[in-house]
A and B are shown apart, each in its own frame.
Chain A
Amino acid sequence: MSPFFTVRTLLIGALIVFLALLPVYVVATGQFFPLTLFTRIVILALAATSLNLILGYGGMVSFGHAAYLGVGAYVIGILSKEGITSGFAQWPLALAVCALFALVVGALCLRTRGVYFIMITLAFAQMIYYVAVGLDRYGGDDGLIIYRRSQFAGLIDLSGKVQFYYLCLVLLFAAIWLVSRLANSRFGMVIQGGRSNDRRMRAIGFPIFRYRLAGFVIAGMMCGLAGVLLANHTDFISPAVMHWTRSGDLIVMIVLGGIGSLFGPLIGAVTLLMLEEGLSRVTEYWQIIVGPLLLFIVVYAHGGIDGILASLRRG
C-alpha cells in the first residue's frame, strides 16, 4: 500500500477543505463573487465527474455530454415557466428525462466504436441543441429567465447563496463517492474491462453492451443533475448550455485533471475555470495560455494533473 500522506492526498485534501470552508471566508468578508464562481465550478465538476465515469473508466468518448446538462436545465426552465416550481416534482422529472434520453442515445451510439461513437454522440447533442433553439415558447435562441428557483417546501432555500453552494458541494462529493463505488464494483470491472479490451470481454462471456448502456444512463442522469443545479444557479437557460464547445470543455477538464482518476474531473474543473477567470482579466485571448498547457499535459502526462501529483514523492 502507498503511504496515506503523499503530495497528492495532501493537495486533494487541501482542495476539499478549501471548498468546504470557502463560504466562511465569503461571509466574513462580504465578497460574494468567489462563491458564485465556485458554485459554477462545483456544478461543472459534477458534470465532468459524470463524464469521467463513461469516458475515463469506460473508454466511451462521448462528445455530446453537455446535452444532458442542457436537458436537465431545460426541464427546470420549462416546468418553472409552466408554473411548476416544486423541486420535488422538477428534479425527479429532470433526472427521468435525462435517463430516458441517455437510454435512447446510448442504445444507438454504443453500437459504434471509436471516431464513429464520438461523431454520433456529437450529432445527438447538436440535434437536441437545435431543438432547444427552436423552442420559441421557451426563449428559443435567446434563452429563458427562470424567475423562481426550485422550491423544497422550506427544507432548503436554493436562493440562499451559501445553502445552495453547500448543496452543490455535497452532491458533487456524493457523486465522486458513487463513482468510486461503481468503479470498483463488479459493474465497474466490466466497464473498465470494456475499455481495456473489448474483444476479450466478449470472449470470456460478457454481454458488454448492456453494461455500457447502464453506465451511459447513470452518467447521463448525473450530468442531468448538474444541469438542474446550473439552471438554478444562473436563473437562466439557453441553448448555449449545451453547445458542443461545452461538451469539449468537459473533456478538457477530464484530460487536464486526469482521465479515469476519481478526483481528476474536480481538479480539472477547478484548474480550467480558475485559469479562465484569472487569465481573462489579463487578456481576452486566455486560451492561448490554456492551449499549450493542455498540449503539455496530453504529450507528457497522460494521467493529467492528478497523475503528476501521484508521481511526486513525499516532501
Chain B
Amino acid sequence: MLQIRDLTKRFGGVLASDGISLDVPVGELHAIIGPNGAGKSTLVGQLAGEISPDNGRIFFNGRDMTRLPTHRRSELGLARSFQITCLFLDFTVLDNVALAVQAHAGHSFRLWRPARNDKELRGPARAALARVGLESRADVICANLSHGEHRQLEIAMALATVPRMLVLDEPMAGMGPEESARMIALLGELKAEQTILLIEHDMDAVFRLADRITVLVDGRVIASGTPDDIRADAEVRQAYLGGHEARRHG
C-alpha cells in the first residue's frame, strides 16, 4: 500500500532522512520508533506533503505521490493525525469532524444550503465520533475538550475522511496512563480495519500493537522487522532501547 524508496531530506548540515526505504502492505500496522531527533516528524511531513524531499520516492497504491500537494494525498486516501493537536478549536467537536467528512463529499462550491443541517455530513461525522467514543461531546466547543479528548478527536478527524491508510503521529503524546490504555484499545480495534503507520514513543503500545516495527536513528533505518526481531536486535538495543527498555521487553 505504501512504499518509500530511498527518501532523503537535508536541513542544512543535518540529514533528517537518510535514504529511508519502507514498505507497508495492506492491513499491516507498521510502527516507527526512534529517539528524539531521529527524523520521525520529518518523515511524517514528507508523507503528508508538507515537507518536500530532496531525493527518493513515495508510492501510495502504486502511484507516485512524491510531489503531490497535501490535499491531493488526502483525496487519494492517506489520512494523518498530528502529534501536536491541530484542530479547529473555535468549532464544535461535531463541526470539526463534519468538515473532514465534507472534504471527501465532492466539491464545496455549494453556497446556499446550510451545511449544519446536512445529514450527508452530520451522519458520518457522528459515526466517526462514536467510533472513538466522543459522541457525547459532539456539541462542545473543541477548545473546551481535555487533552485526551483532543487526541481522540484527532483520530476521528482522520477516520472521517474514509482513508485507505492512517498515518498516526504519536497519538498518545502527553496522555496519562488511563487515557493511553483507552487509546491502545481503540488502535487495537482500528487495526483490524485499517492499514496504519504508527509513529509512537510509547514502547508498551508499539510492542503490543505493531505487526512490524522500523527503528529510525539519525534519519536512518537501523532495523525493521517483527516486534520479536526488534527486541532481539543488538544494534537496536544499543542505539535506542538501552539497557532498561531491553530488559523490560526482552
Interface, chain A (partner B; CB < 8 A): 181-182, 184-190, 192-193, 196-197, 199-208, 211, 214
Contact = CB atoms under 8 A, between A and B. Distances in A.
Given A204-B103, A204-B161, A199 B116 contact: no
B27 to A, nearest CB: 23
A203 B87 contact: no
Interface stretch (B17-25, B34-42, B53-61, B106-114): B106-114
Interface residues of B, number: 39
Contacts of B95: 189
A202 B108 contact: no
A200 B87 contact: yes
A185 B108 CA distance: 9
A275 to B, nearest CB: 30
A214 B111 CA distance: 11
Contacts of A190: 99, 102, 108
B75 A184 contact: no
Given A199-B86, A205-B104, A187 B74 contact: no
A255 B80 CA distance: 36
Contacts of A201: 71, 99, 103
Given A193-B88, A196-B91, 4 more contacts: A181-B114, A196-B88, A202-B49, A203-B80
Contact of A185 (B74, B86, B99, B112): B112
A200 B112 contact: no
A200 B115 CA distance: 19
Most buried by B among A199, A203, A205: A203
A185 B91 contact: no
B204 interface: no
20 contacts: A181-B114, A184-B114, A185-B115, A186-B108, A186-B115, A189-B98, A189-B115, A190-B108, A193-B88, A196-B88, A197-B86, A197-B87, A197-B89, A200-B86, A201-B71, A203-B79, A203-B80, A204-B157, A207-B71, A211-B109
B90 interface: yes
Contacts of B114: 181, 184-185
A211 B108 contact: yes
B87 A189 contact: no
Contacts of A206: 71, 103, 108
Contacts of B111: 181-182, 185-188
A197 B99 CA distance: 12
Nearest to A210: B109
- Ranked nearest first, the 10 interchain pairs of A and B with the lowest CB-CB distance are A205-B74, A205-B103, A202-B70, A196-B88, A186-B110, A204-B100, A186-B108, A186-B115, A184-B114, A204-B103
Nearest to A191: B108
B164 to A, nearest CB: 13
